[in-house]
Amino acid sequence: MDEKTTIEIVTEWDIVAARQLGRNEAKAIGFDTVDQARITTAISELARNIYLYAHSGEITIEIIEREGKKGIAVTACDKGPGIDNVRNVLDDGYTTSGGIGAGLPGVKRLMDTLDIQTSVGEGTLIRVEKWL
């Protein structure tokens, strides 16, 4: 299976749509309700960062498979300002807005892997994965 859906993030409603899609996909491949909540919280945080800091971008949700194991990958991509102090953003306490997911350190805890590529003035690409 190689399923991939992209949602443009422009308004706050798009954040809701991305959450919904993530929940449906997570449920469909067998994540329990607790993991579904973890995944939707991570999607919210990533989509909200796009909305707040880059104004627009994309969330891609993908069903992934490796060595017979299934999982979900969420990629947040924008052409916004980029993250200047990227070394600090995964430290607890660095986040400013106090959402329920506790920012990027929270996203890292909720998911199995987190990868950030960012360049000031060019944009940000963050990919997270969670495996069943």
Residues near ligand ADP (CB under 6 A) are 45, 49-50, 53-54, 78, 80-83, 89, 95-97, 103-104, 124
Letter for the amino acid at 118?
T
Radius of gyration in angstroms for the set of CA atoms belonging to the chain, rounded to a whole number: 14
Beta strand 69-78 pairing with 3-9: unpaired
Binding mask 57-96 for Mg ion (x = CB under 5 A): ----------------------------------------
Tell me the C-alpha to C-alpha distance, in Å, between residue 51 and each of 28, 55, 78. Answer: 27, 4, 10
Tokens describing residue 126 = 């963050």
Residue 46: closest CA among 132, 116, 94, 119? 116
**Adjacent-strand bridge partners of 117:** 125
Residue of this chain nearest to ligand ADP (CB atom):
103
Query: Smallest distance, Å, CB 49 to Mg ion?
Result: 4
**With CB cut-offs between 5 and 8 Å by kind, which of Mg ion, ligand ADP, none does residue 89 bind?**
ligand ADP
3 versus 91: smaller Cβ distance to ligand ADP? 91
Query: Smallest distance, Å, CB 107 to Mg ion?
Result: 9
Query: Smallest distance, Å, CB 100 to ligand ADP?
Result: 11
